[in-house]
Amino acid sequence: MSNISKRNARLLVRGSVVKVRRRCGKARCKCGQGELHETWALSYSYQGKTRMIPLRPEDIRLARQAIKRYQKALTLLESHAVRGINHLHATIKAAKRRAR
């Protein structure tokens, strides 16, 4: 496995892969008659603003895989956090019982 492949296998990305349809503004272009240009992009929010990164066709799969890894990691982190809350709550309850 190449170094780039190894780095890509660990890549985590928050966002969504979306298809963007738009007009280019050229007077004689087909998009003026309603046939809009289509491109793929990674849509994500940062500091309260939605941002987009255009994706080449060969990058769409990589972006989707990285999003899936991010979601899996987030789920795992959330379950660890809930266990931590439960443990802390139980520890505090036990300390209160001992103090009585």
50-91 pLDDT per residue, tens: 999 999 999 999 999 999 999 999 999 999 999 999 999 999
Position 35, amino acid: E
Average of pLDDT values for 26-50? 93
3 has pLDDT over 80: no
Q: Which of the pair, 60 or 33, is modelled with greater confidence?
A: 60
What b-and-e string marks burial along 37-67, b requiring 16 or more CB atoms within 10 Å of the CB?
A: eeebbbeeeeeeeeeeeebeeeeeebbeebb
Q: Are 13 and 59 in contact (CB under 8 A)?
A: no
Rounded distance, CA 15 to CA 63, Å? Answer: 9
pTM comes to 0.75
Name the band, by pLDDT with cuts 50, 70 and 90, for residue 99: confident
Within 1-100, where are the H helices? Answer: 3-9, 60-99
Q: Are 42 and 16 in contact (CB under 8 A)?
A: yes
